[in-house]
A and B are shown apart, each in its own frame.
Chain A
Amino acid sequence: MRQLGLGARIFHGVFVLFILAPLVMVIAVSFTDKGYLSLPTDGLSLRWFYAIAENPEFIDAFWMSVWLGLVSASIAVLISVPAALAIARQRFIGRDMISAFLLSPLMIPHLVLGVAFLQFFSEIGLGGSFYGLAAAHIVLITPYALRLALASVTGMSQDAEDAALTLGANKFTVFRRITLPLILPGVAGGWLLSFITSFDELTMSVFVASPSTQTLPVKMYHHITQTIDPLIASVSTVLIILTFVVMLILDRFYGLDKIFIGKG
């Protein structure tokens, strides 16, 4: 058995502290009983969590982000699954180009996408609309959905499909009864990763979102650039807890490392 030396253990401990420090800091500050930024030195208080209820713009922004994530992740998956079936299974002229094109948003800085959409949507009359924001998010998250869909199509055996075809099932039945159930776990993982990527996105949305379509990260960003108070810490704490739940689900069913590397 390979043992880790003391130095390696200390390094690991410091690294983990570094990773957790800012999150712990946010959570600690959110429980303060003071009216200003401070650590809760004389007792925990939930006053800043109650304060969220008095600031409905955060709650509105939260639901905007949820709704946006649901719509764009679902459409991204609907685009990705047929594309993944073609790209992973069939050889055709332009296959590599199409696959690179559909994955290309991964290589383009979100800032570039943001300004490009800002100009595009204002010129075609969709500036500041929910449709524009959703379209931008679909472009951004489709590569994530596609990567996981590709991985699950590549990873499945075609024997069951061949058997069903030989036994006289038509192509659509094979897809509905065999292929789809087999790739569903991977596709669901891709949906969840797309959802959370859309939910967290700031840099592109800050250009595309209008006051009426402000997402939670955009709202939080504008709040922080004005003032940093315990309220933003309590909003962040709620967000950390919600993300943690999603994280546990993803890790339990797929393994976080596999999700991020794209081999779900």
Chain B
Amino acid sequence: MMADLADKRIPYLLTAPGTLFFAALLGAPLVMTFLLSLHAYDFTAGVLPGWTAQNYIEVITDSYFQKIFARTFGLALLVTVICVLIGVPEAYVLSRLSSRWRSFFLLIVLGPLLISVVVRTLGWALFFGGNGILTMVSQALGFGDAPVSLMFTFTGMTIALVHVLVPFMVLAVWASLQKIDPQSEDAALSLGASKFTVLSRITLPQAMPGILSGSIIVFALTASAFATPAIIGGRRMKVVSTAAYDEYLSTLNWPLGAAIVVLLLLANIAIIVGYNKLVERRFAKVFE
């Protein structure tokens, strides 16, 4: 059957509201931010008309910004590793529970994703503050009366971010464990493999795609997280997102802030694309 011209136009008409809206309200703002990052800024004259790469040079060469980018990268790496270490076993435990307990605990583990990050971070701030639970515990254990605070520390940020993001890891691994045929494990067991061998040779390789995609989600979200580093890390423990926030809303040097943001976006895309390539190669190895 020949499709006539009107039929060919239908899919474009159906997607037009979305694509037009996005072109105007996503494409244009992003392009404008990029262009803004190529202008210099003067504290009295504002944004200067000439084109320059000066903001990028400043962000890349200034040791202040190098430290912030390095800290953000380290934080994202550490949070990702911890999320793998605790999220993968938890997803495995969940997959082994009876169906009633499983849906109950899935609700507990995934539910916090729906609760505002501000609320979850507030909970950790209550733990970490100088007159919080931590101090009470350390006093009760006889470590002296000095208040213990994890506010404005790297450790505090790490703990809170792991809490905020580990549900994504559990979810990704859980989804890939769902696809495993339990008979492959039973077969290995009945052929005399030990439980550990089954875990490392059968279950883990099949869960690998989930672990990898969970890692990339956690890494990308940590690298650009704002609420938790802003509340727990504050001004003393700046990361890329809080530094950009300060450039935009305190210093008002928008072009410099734009350069920081563009670099964050590029790093984000590079890591996602690079990781996907790695995953594809891994896939080929596992399922040859």
Contacts and interface: CB of A to CB of B under 8 A. Distances in A.
Interface string B1-19: 0000000101110110111
Interface residues of A, number: 85
Contact of A135 (B18, B25, B96): B25
A39 to B, nearest CB: 8
Interface stretch (A4-12, A47-55, A161-169, A183-191): A4-12
A170 interface: no
Given A110-B226, A257-B106, A220 B118 contact: yes
Nearest to B20: A79
B107 A251 contact: yes
A142 B18 CA distance: 9
A236 interface: yes
Nearest to B35: A119
B119 A225 contact: no
A149 B77 CA distance: 34
A15 B86 contact: yes
Interface in B77-122: 86, 89-90, 93, 96-97, 103, 105-122
Contacts of B157: none
Contact of B26 (A21, A105, A206, A216): A105
Most buried by B among A18, A116, A257, A260: A116
Interface SS of chain A = helix
Contacts of B226: 110-111, 202-203, 206
A143 to B, nearest CB: 10
Nearest to B17: A79
Interface in B200-246: 220, 223-227, 230-231, 241, 244-245
B108 A16 contact: yes
A256 B126 contact: no
A123 interface: yes
A148 interface: no
B227 A202 contact: yes
Nearest to A116: B29
A1 B126 CA distance: 42
B283 interface: no
Interface residues of B, number: 82
A115 B248 contact: yes
B60 interface: no
B99 to A, nearest CB: 12
A37 B175 contact: no
Contacts of A102: 15, 18-19, 22
Contact of B93 (A4, A87, A116, A200): A4
A138 B118 contact: no
Interface stretch (B48-56, B63-71, B127-135): B127-135
A182 to B, nearest CB: 17
B36 interface: yes
A99 to B, nearest CB: 8
Contact of B124 (A22, A80, A138, A244): A22
B43 to A, nearest CB: 18
14 contacts: A11-B90, A15-B93, A16-B109, A20-B108, A22-B127, A22-B163, A37-B129, A86-B12, A86-B15, A101-B22, A119-B29, A119-B258, A221-B230, A261-B175
Interface of B: 8, 10-12, 14-15, 17-19, 21-22, 25-26, 28-30, 32-33, 36, 86, 89-90, 93, 96-97, 103, 105-127, 129, 131-133, 160, 163, 166-167, 171, 174-175, 220, 223-227, 230-231, 241, 244-245, 248-249, 254, 257-258, 261, 264-265, 268-269, 272
Given A109-B265, A225-B231, 9 more contacts: A11-B90, A15-B90, A79-B21, A83-B17, A102-B22, A116-B29, A116-B32, A135-B25, A221-B231
